[in-house]
Structure 1
Amino acid sequence: MLPSGSAKVRVEAARAIARVMAGSNLDQALARADVRELAPQQVSMLRALAYGVLREHGLLSSLLSRLLDHPLQGEEELHALLLVGLYQLRSMRVASHAAVNETVEAVALLGKARMRALVNALLRRYLRERPALEALIAPSAARHSYPEWLADEIREDWPQAWEAVLNGGNAQGPLTLRVNRRKVARDVYLRRLDAASIAANSVPEAADAIILDHALPVEKIPDFADGAVSVQDVSAQLAADLLDLRPGQRVLDACAAPGGKTAHLLERCDDLDLTALDVDGERLQRVRETLQRLQLHARIVAGNAAEPRAWWDGKPYDRILLDAPCSGTGVIRRHPDIKWLRRFSDIPRMAATQLALLNALWPLLAPGGVLLYATCSILKAEGEDVIKAFLRAQPGAKHVAIAADWGEARPVGRRIAPGGAFDGFYYARLIKP
């Protein structure tokens, strides 16, 4: 009997998951999936399985360890396939018998036919003993599916809200649009969506943000190709307001790729002299494509923000946006692989890079200018700790508190927990007297 398409979906999802756990990021892992014989709906199912298992990987692995008499040494893809089966039984609207049968069929397609009986027995045992097995998942790191080191860091940094932060990272983030006010007003675009029977709402905290009730491919979003809207999370959209832009200002977007914030700054203020800088020349192509779709212009420069002598023309900037490279712990809900790819040792290394970038860019800021520091991290080590270290190193710099109806004020800067409309984020505003 030929394997079904459903079995193929499960096999390719398992292979993608195994690649991530071996060190690949999820986008790369999914790009390698063999989807040639799969329908679009099946490809969507493949992605849903991969994302879902990675969100719950710690919990699912803990359950599986209780079902197995001994670990599946050297069987990473089979291990991942079992997690796919457990995920379907726990978290998807799939009939139990179908989830078990399709997973067992997928074992043969994986080239492990001899293991079919074992997989069948394990999944059926889970169904029989589910309440007792679930009750054994007591430690928070396993229950919330975070590596222990990361759960500990979040618990320490968010003592009053750590569990909500963990849960927020495990939820699926909504599809958020940024309305291009050069082309259309937000209320007008909301009416366009309503006319197209697309349910959506504005976000009061961000002047250009709209959240769709249900995600859509961009080709089905009205006027997307014409530049009326872009996809961008609410938290990232806050940067434009915090920079307080004025026409004619020289602006540097110091780590610009893929270009969402660059475009937003240009949409919000006419006649900016804006430089979009990034160290990755290939990713800068995405900036070019974004600006071309939106019919916007910026000076695009490939260069290392930490080494301005190689690219700076010597003229100071009125505004600098430093969306610094970081752990990405604030966007885990959109990139669940981050939980399993990051290591504790990454954090001090990234914090050192962030501080070096701040110190390198500060001399480029004009007197009276604003430098906005941003990270999509929820860890103090990459947020307020970096800004405190910078202020010690640059006694002439002035931190200006951010008054807002979003997030939480910190001794320096303002942070946002992941959840609802918002990805996890940190902002700090610095002024040169």
Structure 2
Amino acid sequence: MPTARASWGGALASKTHDFAGTPVNPPEKSPPVRTPWAPGAPALAAAARAVDEVVSSGRSAETALAAHEDDAHRAAVRAIALGTIRWYLRLAPALDLLLKHPAGVTGTVRSLLTVAAHQIEYSRNSPEATVHAAVDAARLLGAERATGLANAVLRRFVAERGALLARVDTELPPRTAHPPWIVERIAAAWPQACPAILAADNGHPPMTLRLDLSRTDRTAYLIELSRASIDAHEVPWAPAAVTLAHPVAVSRLPGFGEGLVSVQDAGAQLAAPLLDARPGMRVLDACAAPGGKTAQVLEKAGERVEVVAVDIDAGRAALIRENLNRLRRSALVVVADVRDTDAFWDGRPFERILVDAPCSSSGVIRRHPDIKLLRRAEDIPALAAEQLAILRAAAGMLTPGGRLLYSTCSVLPEENEEVIARLLAAEPQLTLARMPAGGELAPGAVDRRAGAQLLPGAEAGTDGFYYACLEKTTAGI
């Protein structure tokens, strides 16, 4: 609920005085410059366009927001749009209760109503000012005929939102703004942790950094952050991790441009230690973009490892190169489908392979709330089939005695231990490798039949990640 309200009154008039304090006649005033729109209307209109791109066109939030990167109010647009997407599945049903024919409302207008409802319910803005801005935003969107609808619906929402949301909140999925299928899958897999996971999905994620410990140390870097007036604390169980009290622009981070530090969730930082690449080894990062784990492997093992970083998308492969350049690291970056080994593999086996597989991203919803609107239940079997195919291709490139690390940012067993079970059945030369028990890996991590799971909302405070280590024997070859 809003905790503060903006004043409806105008600014107090000021007087002009000479230096002795004697009033003097003020200069003639020019007519006040009037803006054509209510304050906040352009940001609401832009946010509505972005939300509609996600809801109606299925585009990612990042793609939808990219069109507004040069806007003067881009920070407000981003905050409003992502907040609305986060709570869309709670707000939209409440608004539907106020519409005679919800299906007859165009996507852009419906998105405008929802972004305005988000500002009314979840921001500190004056509800009345938000309604006024939304009416002008409708005009900016070319929906002049919808101004009356916006005014009437939103004024009713202001007056009745407590009762409206109470009706919506009788069911867990809309109360937590999740699609029913995700709630059902999480409740089935994690019955005790389900409430905490859903709550964490709606929280704002921390900004955690990964230090290059070959070039700096954590104590020294915390001092540098303090000198830059950035509050931070170490993550005790992740040696290279520092979490900021409040997110900041990366341009403010000491040493970011020089590659001393990267932004990476503490849970993701477990990959390189589990992979355990050592000097002299040949390493494959099979689904490498944007390159954070590739760089971490190089930071931990040093330059005396040969790393091949593969990604199927040329644009994302370019991100790997950009990140490695900033971090002063080098690897062979290849654009290829890792399942088509003939397209890129020279036949020399790898001692270590990391498969950070494409997945539902159900463990990182707090960072990407559009997952709630874009992902479908029917996506999961297709993703699991793709994950298994990638793993089987990786197994064929792994040397006997080598280690394969499988990771996802999913909390769904169908993409995690169930995929590993199918892999072990199909590839008898693979076996589960020893890895730390869940509680030793990270606070609150859970041991599974194969591997370990970190959950959003658990003690570690990380995103949701799954890890499983495998080794290749000579059996079955």
Q: CA deviation at 1:321?
A: 0.3
- What TM-score comes out, normalization by structure 2 length? 0.87
* Aligned amino acid, residue 228 of structure 1: L
Question: Where does residue 9 of structure 1 map in the other structure?
Answer: 43
1:182 shift after superposition: 2.1
1:331 aligns with 2:364: yes
Q: Report the counterpart of residue 173 of structure 1 in structure 2.
A: 205
Match of 2:424 in 1: 391
The TM-score with structure 1 as length reference comes to 0.96
- Choose from 401, 408, 412 the match for 2:446: 408
CA contact (8 A) 1:59 1:144 kept: yes
Structure 2 distance, partners of 1:55, 1:26, is 11
2:223 equivalent to 1:191: yes
- Shift in Å at residue 242 of structure 1? 0.6
Helix, strand or coil at the partner of 1:350: helix
Matches within 5 A, 1:2-81: 2-4=36-38, 6-21=40-55, 22-33=57-68, 38-39=71-72, 42-81=73-112
1:148 equivalent to 2:154? Answer: no
| 1:4 positional shift | 4.2
**Residues 255 and 277, structure 1, Cα contact 8 Å, conserved in 2:** yes
State whether residues 402 and 413 of structure 1, in contact with CA within 8 Å, keep that contact through their aligned partners in structure 2: no
Answer with 1 or 2: which has the greater Rg.
Answer: 2
2:266 to 211, 229, 234: 234
Contact 1:20–1:29 (8 Å) recurs in 2: yes
1:245 aligns with 2:283: no
Query: Secondary structure in 1 aligned to 2:187?
Result: helix
Following the alignment from structure 2 to structure 1, what is the Cα–Cα distance between the partners of residues 398 and 59?
38
Alpha-carbon contact 2:282-2:350 (below 8 Å) kept? yes
* CA-to-aligned-CA distance 1:61-97 (integer Å, 9 cap, x gap): 1110112122152511110111111111111111222
- Give distance in 2, aligned partners of 1:132 and 1:74: 23
Deviation at 1:294, TM superposition (A): 0.9
Structure 1 residues 74, 126: CA separation in 2 closer, same or farther (over 3 Å shift)?
closer
Asked if residue 310 in structure 1 is aligned to residue 348 in structure 2, the reply is no
Determine if contact 2:38/2:132 at 8 Å carries over to the other structure.
Answer: no
Q: What is the deviation of 1:189?
A: 0.5
User: For the Cα contact (< 8 Å) 1:193–1:199, is it kept in 2?
Assistant: yes
Deviations 1:246-276 (A, max 9, x none): 2111111111111000001101112111111
Partner of 1:217: 249
Matching residue's letter, 1:127:
V
Read off the aligned partner of 1:27 and give its amino acid letter. E
Amino acid at match of 2:456: P
Residue matched to 2:467 = 427
1:297 and 2:337 aligned = no
Segment of structure 1 superposing worse, 146-155 or 50-59: 146-155
Runs of 4+ displaced beyond 3 Å: none
User: Which letter maps to 1:249?
Assistant: M
- Which deviations, in whole Å up to 9, do the C-alpha atoms of 1:336-357 show, x marking residues without a partner? 1111111111110010010011
Cα-to-partner distance string for 1:275-301 (whole Å, 9 max, x where unaligned): 111122221111111111111111112
CA distance in 2, matches of 1:121, 1:230: 48
Distance in 2 between residues matched to 1:205 and 1:73, nearest whole Å:
53
Q: Is the 8 Å Cα contact of residues 39 and 133 (structure 2) preserved in structure 1? A: no
Tell me which amino acid in the other structure corresponds to 1:15: R
**Distance in 2 between the 1:372 and 1:145 partners?**
33
The answer (yes or no) to whether the contact 1:72–1:79 under 8 Å persists in 2 is no
Please say which of residues 112-121 and 421-430 is displaced more in the overlay.
112-121
Q: Which has the higher helix share?
A: 1
Q: Is there any run of 5+ residues in structure 2 with no aligned partner, and where?
A: 1-34
- Secondary structure of the residue that 1:275 maps to in structure 2? strand
Tell me which amino acid in the other structure corresponds to 1:342.
R
SS of 2:297 mapped into structure 1: helix
Question: How far apart are 1:114 and its partner, in Å?
Answer: 2.6
Percent identity, aligned pairs only, is: 44
Task: List per-residue Cα deviations over 1:9-49 (Å, max 9, x = no partner).
Answer: 0000000000001211111111123x65x43xx21110001
2:321 is matched with which residue? 288
How many residue pairs get aligned? The number is: 429
Secondary structure at the aligned position of 1:182 is classed as coil
Give the 3-state SS of the residue equivalent to 1:136 in structure 2: helix
Take 2:308 and 2:262, find their aligned partners in 1: how far apart are those partners?
A: 20
Q: 1:301-349: CA deviations, max 9, x gaps?
A: 2222112122212221111000011111111111111111111111100
Conserved 8 A contact 1:402-1:429 = no
Alpha-carbon distance in structure 2 between the residues aligned to 1:380 and 1:429: 16
Cα drift, residue 116 of structure 1: 2.1
CA contact (8 A) 1:402 1:428 kept: no
Please name the residue that 2:137 is paired with. Answer: 106
Q: Alpha carbon RMSD of aligned pairs, Å? A: 1.5
What SS class does the counterpart of residue 369 from structure 1 fall into? strand
